[in-house]
Amino acid sequence: MALNDNDTIVTSGMQKYIDANNAYLAGRADYINTQIRKWKFDTIAVHGLYSVRDAIDDYQGAIIEPAFMSTSQAYRDSDEMAAALAYKIPTWCYSRIANPSTYYYEWTLALLEGYGFAGETSCCSTSSGMSAIMSAVQPFLQVTGKTPGAINFVATAQCYGGTFQQFTVRFMQERNIECRWVLNAENLDEWAQKIDGNTRFLYGELPSNPQLGFFDIEKVADLAHSHNIPLICDSTIATPALLRPICHGADIVVQSVTKSLSSSGFGICGAIIARKNLTSNLAVEGLKEDFGLYVKFLQNRDLGPNLHPMQAVLALNDMRTVRSKMDLMSRNTMQVARFLGEHPEVESVQYLGLPDHPLHDLASRYMWLVDAEQDELYGKPVNRYGHLLSFCVAGGAERARLFFDNLQRIWRATDLGRIKSVATIPAISTHQQQGEEGRAMAGIPTHMVRLCVGAEHPDDIIADLDQALGKAKKGVSV
């Protein structure tokens, strides 16, 4: 794949570097195919692509990936620099484009999202989840001059408030690119009715934040591919420990790694993971063949939403235990959801793990704790539904705010996916800018509370919820 904008004359001096790096790439591919692809999910999460050979040959034996706090890379001579800047050999010429720390972060995510997928995946790191979304959709919205009429895309209305703003304000209002909202994502006909010859991609968030929306990935992917367009999924809430959309036909996954994958809360980071040779109706060189590299070395080279190497290393260390954390937090959340479902001061509970949730059966087809059948603890496939739930407090918005203000152990913040339990009221926080009409369309009432259950003992979380609901009923203000 030619990733450089300009033709480059290859000299004999450059060729020696190209040959050496082709040998390196062949060795890397062999290591992935003969070793890494045979590992279990947890082993990939712990080690990623960083090997003993890497450590000894390049990094003085460091068993943890080093943080390369450097802006750029030095070259042996002009031939190596020319080959690197023409993207004919692997390079981290400038940390806005690439860095060894982000390299290992990207490969870990590519391997985790591609776990169980027969094809190849690649990844591009970004500075946040929002930059991951922008980086993923932007390439498909370019004006090629070949498609008459207005460019559009189709997306689930039940999504994170920042996503709604990006699509509504930055695309529709500022660039006249139409986002056609799907209100009931489980209804395949609604998706189909919104696609035409100018549709560039389908976009869906699942489980959605905060409403716990879900859709049939395989059917929506098949629909997208029948129109020669890709399906892009935001799988932040599930993480690859519970759901890997690429295995079910999706072309691209976006992750706000800040959240569930990186549960410590030390910083902001994102990622795009794409299968190679994805589906698209755009004839743009490199875009379909290796979307991750296309975004990294062309689009994001120029736009600059790069990830800091220190944050890459911090996130890598968080990701090593993502499967066990998602298992623990999912089990805790199930206990909390059952408690809330029986509480007289709770009007309704939205959690995909509850059998009476209308999307429970659909979610149960897709959301599984990875490798549970090979785990000594379980020894069989096990459904897990994540750490996010929402519930509506009986008595309306003011009662919900009284409850919220009386929380003592649960943190009041707009964050999610933390190792510590966090709650917010979406109508006054994450989805406030969406407006009343937009919130009604997305199913976010004023008395809805979003709760992300952490790794505390569930009895302590339940006790905090119970006392806060009791005080709200009595009208007790803090």
Domain residue ranges of the chain, discontinuous segments joined by +: 96-319, 322-474
Q: What are the C-alpha distances in Å from 123 to residues 75, 127, 175, 294? A: 25, 13, 27, 10
* pLDDT score, position 11: 84
449 forms beta bridges with: 391
pLDDT category at 143 given cuts 50, 70, 90 is: confident
| Nearest Cα residue to 332 out of 388, 391, 403, 375 | 388
d(CA 321, CA 309): 20
Q: Please enumerate, as own/partner, the contacts of 368-376 that have beta carbons within 8 Å and a separation of 24 or more.
A: 368/242, 368/243, 369/241, 369/242, 369/323, 369/326, 369/327, 369/330, 370/41, 370/115, 370/116, 370/240, 370/241, 370/242, 370/244, 370/323, 371/40, 371/41, 371/42, 371/323, 374/40
Residue 145 pLDDT > 80, yes or no? Answer: no
Q: Please, are residues 444 and 211 in contact by the beta-carbon 8 Å criterion?
A: yes
d(CA 72, CA 91): 10
* pLDDT score, position 466: 98
Percent of the chain at pLDDT above 70?
Answer: 97
Q: Is the peptide bond between 207 and the residue preceding it cis, with omega within 30 degrees of 0? A: yes
d(CA 240, CA 271): 13
Q: Please, are residues 399 and 392 in contact by the beta-carbon 8 Å criterion?
A: no
SS3 210: coil
| Nearest Cα residue to 307 out of 264, 258, 239, 234 | 258
SS3 440: helix
379-388 burial, b at 16+ Cβ within 10 Å, e below that, comes to eeebbbbbbb
| Nearest Cα residue to 281 out of 336, 326, 339, 228 | 228
d(CA 361, CA 357): 8
Q: Look over the chain and give the mean of its residue pLDDT values, rounded to a whole number.
A: 94
CATH of 96-319, one of 3.40.640.10, 3.40.50.720, 3.30.465.10, 3.40.50.1860: 3.40.640.10
What CATH number should be reported for the domain whose range is 322-474?
3.90.1150.10
Q: Please, are residues 231 and 182 in contact by the beta-carbon 8 Å criterion?
A: no
| Nearest Cα residue to 241 out of 353, 336, 180, 328 | 328
| Nearest Cα residue to 153 out of 229, 213, 66 | 229
The pLDDT tens digits for 44-81 are 999 999 999 999 998 999 999 999 999 999 999 999 99
The pLDDT tens digits for 315-330 are 999 999 999 999 999 9
Q: How far is CA 85 from the centre of its chain?
A: 30
* pLDDT score, position 4: 52
d(CA 184, CA 236): 20
SS3 127: coil
| Angle value at C-alpha 321, between 318 and 325, nearest 5 degrees | 100
270-275: strand order across its sheet: 121-126, 270-275, 252-255, 231-234, 199-205, 152-156, 178-182
User: Is 322-474 in the same CATH topology as 96-319?
Assistant: no
The pLDDT tens digits for 163-212 are 999 999 999 999 999 999 999 999 999 999 999 999 999 999 999 999 99
